[in-house]
Amino acid sequence: MEEMTATQFFNLLLHSGVDVGKASVQISDGTYGIPTQEYVLNTFPEFYKNKLAEMGLGNWETSWDCDEFAWQFYTMARWAHYATKKSMSEGLAVGVCYFRSGARAEDGTGGGHAINFAVIGAGVDRHIIFIEPQYAAKGKPCVIELSYHEKKSIWFMNL
């Protein structure tokens, strides 16, 4: 598994369209393993969907909404990274972010929303993708594109 440093992540973030002057960016580790696109888009979402179903947590409810889905995705991805020992990096390049959505996943209206993001790729092809964990929980394709305004509205990112 390829790795990156916290500084490399921040530099990538500067070029991603996120307003880093506005967003509170929390970077908790010094090094991060970079998952493959296959893992982030197929292998892990299937695992996540099945584990949520086992725990009875696959459906949106007022008390189990976007932020619970996002933090559970984040926690389970980090647990899987630790359990499989794919790298010796301190963390995994999968995080949580909050932004103002044009249309939230649960009801189609706009407002605050929590999702995940991941760094994938190598060298000049390294980039950030955004993931809707509620889609992953239902077995749907989970990569989403944020609009220019949605990227600029991100107010919190945790890696």
* Global model pTM greater than 0.75: yes
* The total number of structural domains that make up the chain: 1
Which residues, 6+ apart, have CB-to-CB distance to 24 below 8 Å?
155, 156, 157
Does 111 score more than 80 pLDDT? yes
Domain that holds residue 47: 2-13+22-158
Confidence of residue 63 (pLDDT cuts 50, 70, 90): low
Which residues, 6+ apart, have CB-to-CB distance to 147 below 8 Å?
102
Helix (H) or strand (E) holding 127: strand 127-131
- The pLDDT of 36-58, averaged and rounded, is 90
Contact 34, 121 (CB under 8 A): yes
By percentage, how much of the chain surpasses pLDDT 90? Answer: 72
pLDDT of residue 106: 63
**Dist CA 75 CA 66 (whole Å):** 14
Mind listing the pLDDT tens digit for each residue in 133-159?
999 999 999 999 999 999 999 999 999
Note the Cα 73 to chain centre separation in Å: 8
Mind listing the pLDDT tens digit for each residue in 69-83?
999 999 999 888 888
- The pLDDT of 16-22, averaged and rounded, is 92
CATH number at residue 93: 3.30.460.70
Mean pLDDT of all residues belonging to the chain:
90
pLDDT of residue 117: 98
